[in-house]
Chains A and B, each alone.
Chain A
Amino acid sequence: MNLLELQSLLPQLILALGATAVLMGGAWLENRRFWLLCGMLLALVAALCAALYEPPLLEVAGMYSTSLYARFCTVVWSLTIAATLLISCRYADLHCFGGGEYAALLLFAAAGMSLLSAASSFVGLFIGLEAFTLVLYILIAFNRTDNRGAEAGLKYLVFGAVATGFLAFGIALIYTATGSFHFAEALAGLQLDGGLRPLGLAGWAMLLVAIGFKISLVPFHLWTPDVYQGAPAPISGVMATAAKGAVLTAFLPLLAGLGDAAGEIKSVLWLLAILTMLGGTFAALPQTNLKRMLAYSSVAHMGYMLVALLIGGEVGGQALLFYLVVYSLATFGAFGVITSWALADEEIQEYAEIRGLGYLHPRRSSALAAFLFSLAGIPPLAGFFGKFGIFHAALRSGYTELAVIGVLTSLISLYYYLRPIIVLFMQDRSAYQLRSGCREEFILLGSCFAAILLFGVYPGPLLELVALVLP
C-alpha cells in the first residue's frame, strides 16, 4: 500500500485506528462518558472527512472503490454510529458497560460497514461484512447480567456463522466460474454462455442465501425477532438500520453490474420480495412486544426495499436509497425511545408495560408515535414518500403484482403500527413513571423527528442528493 491508497481510505482508517486507540485508552482510563463521546467525535470526523475530502484514487488495491456512492454510504453509517454512541450514554451508565470497549466495537462496526458498501471485489465484500458481523456477535451479548442477551448472542452467532459459510462458498463458486474476484470481471464472466455459467449461478444462489440471512428475508428471518428482543436496544437499532443498509447498498451495484445475465437471479428475488412482504407483515400482527414488532416490521420493510432493488437502474436505486434513509431514521428513533425508557434491570417493551405511558412521558411517546406513523407510511411523514416512490417505480417498470402486494401489506401494517400507539395513550394506566430523558436523548430523538417531518414535506434535496451519488 502506498501513501495515495492510504489517503483514499482515510475515513475508514480514522474509524479503525480510532477504534484501536479508544480500546487501548479504555484499559487505562475508566471514564465511560468520556470514551463514548470520544468515539462519537471520531465517527463524526470520519463522516466529515468522507463528505469533504476528495480521495486521490478511484479504487484502492482493486478491492474498494472511493466513488461518491461509497463516500455517501460512509457518511450515513458513521453518522448512525455517532448517534448510537450518543444515545447510549445513559443506557451504558445504567448497565455499567465498559465505555472503551463499547465505543471501540461500534467504531469497528462503522469501519466494516463503510468497507462493505465501498467493496468493488468479492474479497473486499467478504472482509467488510465479516468485520461488522464479528463485532455484532459481541455487542448483542454485551449486557452480561441478561440471560436474554446471552440467548440472542448465541442465536445470532450460529445463524451468522452459517451465513458466512454460505457467503464464502458462493464467492468461491463464482471465482471458480469466472476466475476473478473483481466485480466487473466476475460479473462479465457470468454473461458468457460458457460451460461454467451454471457454477456461477449456483454461487449466486449461495450468495442470495447469505444475504437473505443478513438482511432477514423470509424464509431466512427466523433469528430476527429473538435477536432484536434480546440485544440491548441501541444495538438492535444499529442492526435494524446500518447493518442491513450496508448489505443492501453493497448488493445494489452488484445486481446492476449483472445486467442481462440477472434473469434467473431476479426471478428468485421476485419470489423472495413477495414472501418477505407477506411473511413480515402477517408475523407482526399478533406481536405484543415493541421490539419484536419492530423486528418483523424491519423484515417487511426489507421486502419493500427488495422491490426497489429488483426495479434497478436509476429509478430503483433512487427509490431504494431514499427509502433506506427514511426507514433508518424512523427505526433508529423508535429504538432510541426504547433505549431512553430502559430501566437498570430491564427494558420497557411489552405492550402491557407501556399502557398509558403517553400521559406520563408525552414527548417521547409522541415521538415514538410519529416514528411508527412514518414506518406505516402516513402522510405528511417521510415514510409515505418513500413507499410512494417505490410503488410508483414498480408500476412504471411493470412489476404491477409487487406494487399491489406492497400497497396491501402497507394497509395491513397499519394495524400493528397503530396498536402500540393506542396502548400508549389508553386511559386506564398500568405503566409506572420512568426516569425523565436526558439532554442527549431529546436532541437525537428531536432531530430524527424533525428529519422525517422535513423529508416528508420537502423531499426534494434528499432525492437530488441520492440521485447524484448513485453509481
Chain B
Amino acid sequence: MIVPLEHVLILSTILFLLGLVCVLVRRNLIMILIGIEIMLNAVGLLLVGASAFWQQIDGQVMVIFLMAMTSAEVSISLAMVVYLNRRKGTVDVRAFDEMRG
C-alpha cells in the first residue's frame, strides 16, 4: 500500500466533518442532502483504504452496498424535496416548524 493508512484516515475524517458541518449550518434542504452525501462518501473512502490495508475484499464489497443504499436514499429524499416544495413552495427547512413543545 503506497498511501499510509493514517493519511486515508485523516482525509476521510476531514471529509466527514465537512459534510457534518454542511448539514448543521446550511438551511437549504438540498444542501443538507449534499452534506449527507459527503459524509457517506468519506465512509466509502475509509472503507477502501482499510480494505487495501488489510488486503481483503470485504471493505470494497461494503462500499458497493453503501453506494446502492445511498442511491436508494437519494431517490427517496429527492422525492421528498419535490413533495415538500409543492406543499410550501420552498425547500428552506425553517419553513417547517409547526410542531413544538
Our verdict on whether A and B bind, yes or no, reads yes
What's the A-B contact tally at a CB cutoff of 8 Å? 120
Q: A148-B98, A150-B83, A287-B101 are in contact. Are A176 and B36 (CB under 8 A)?
A: no
Chain A contacts for B43, CB-based, 8 A = 165, 168-169, 171-172
Contacts of A169 in B (CB 8 A): 16, 39, 42-43, 46
Q: Which residues of B contact A164 (CB under 8 A)?
A: 36, 40, 73
Kindly list the 3 A-B residue pairs having the minimum CB-CB distance in the complex, ordered from nearest. A165-B39, A176-B50, A179-B54
Beta-carbon nearest neighbor of B61 in chain A: A123
Least CB distance, B39 to chain A, in whole angstroms: 4
- A218 in the interface, Cβ–Cβ < 8 Å? no
Residue-by-residue, is B42-83 near A (CB-CB < 8 Å gives 1, otherwise 0)? 110011011001101011011001100100110011001001
**Shortest beta-carbon distance from B30 to chain A in Å:** 12
B80:A157 contact, CB within 8 angstroms:
yes
- Pick the contact of B33: A161, A168, A171, A225 (CB < 8 A): A161
Is B99 located at the chain interface by the 8 A CB criterion? yes
Check A162 against B20 for contact (C-beta < 8 Å): yes
B: interface residue count bin: 35 or more
Report chain B residues within 8 Å CB of A137: 76-77, 80
Tell yes or no: A154 within 8 A of B by CB.
Answer: yes
* Contact between chains at B96 and A151 (CB < 8 Å): yes
A158 at the interface (CB under 8 A from B): yes
Chain B residues near A287 (CB-CB < 8 A): 101
Q: Is A126 in contact with B65, judged by CB distance below 8 angstroms?
A: yes
Verify B50–A168 contact, CB threshold 8 A. no
- Residues facing B in A109-142 (CB within 8 A) are 123, 126-127, 130, 134, 137-138, 141
Interface check B93, CB cutoff 8 A: yes
Distance in angstroms from A214 CB to nearest chain B CB is 15
Chain A interfacial residues counted at CB < 8 A: 42
| A residues less than 8 Å from B84 (CB atoms) | 150, 153-154
| Cβ-defined contact, A165 with B20, below 8 A | yes
Q: Which residues of A contact B (CB under 8 A)?
A: 123, 126-127, 130, 134, 137-138, 141, 144, 147-148, 150-155, 157-158, 161-162, 164-165, 168-169, 171-173, 175-176, 179-181, 199, 225-226, 229-230, 286-287, 289, 292
Contact of B98 among A151, A158, A172, A176 (CB under 8 A): A151
The 0/1 profile, CB within 8 Å of A marked 1, for residues 8-28 of chain B is 010010001001100100000
- A137-B76, A153-B84, A289-B101 known; 14 new pairs, CB 8 Å cut-off, are A123-B62, A154-B80, A155-B96, A157-B76, A158-B23, A161-B33, A161-B36, A162-B20, A162-B39, A168-B43, A171-B62, A172-B43, A176-B46, A181-B62
Q: How far is the CB of B8 from chain A (nearest CB, A)?
A: 9
Choose among B12, B16, B19, B50 the residue with the greatest number of A CB atoms under 10 Å from its CB: B50
List B contacts of A165 (CB < 8 A): 16, 19-20, 36, 39-40, 43
* CB <8 Å contact, B99 and A176: no
Query: In the complex the two chains form, what is the Cα distance from A171 to B59 in whole Å?
Result: 10
Bound complex: CA A164 to CA B40 (Å)? 8
Q: Is A180 a contact partner of B69 (Cβ separation < 8 A)?
A: no
CB distance from B37 to the nearest CB of A (A): 9
22 chain-A/chain-B pairs, Cβ below 8 angstroms:
A126-B65, A127-B69, A130-B72, A137-B80, A147-B98, A150-B96, A151-B97, A153-B84, A154-B80, A154-B84, A154-B96, A162-B20, A162-B36, A164-B36, A165-B20, A165-B36, A169-B46, A172-B62, A175-B59, A181-B62, A289-B101, A292-B101
Closest to B100 in A: A226
- Complex CA gap A467/B20 in Å reads 42
Residue of B nearest to A182 (CB): B58
Most chain A C-beta atoms within 10 Å of own C-beta, residue among B23, B53, B54, B62: B62
Tell me, in angstroms, the Cα distance from A162 to B40 when the chains sit together: 9
Most buried by A among B23, B88, B93, B98: B98
Q: Which residue of B lies closest to A177 (CB)?
A: B50
For the complex, give the distance between the alpha carbons of A286 and B100 in Å: 12
Structural contact, A158 and B93, CB atoms closer than 8 A: yes
B99 x A123 contact (CB < 8 A): no
Report B-chain residues with C-beta under 8 Å of the C-beta of A180: 58
Decide: A175 and B58 in contact? CB cutoff 8 A.
yes
> When chains A and B are docked, how far (Å) is the Cα of A151 from the Cα of B72?
21
Q: Are B62 and A144 in contact (CB under 8 A)?
A: no
Q: Is the CB of B40 within 8 A of A181?
A: no
Bound: A168/B53 CA distance, A:
18
What is the chain A residue whose CB lies nearest that of B93? A154
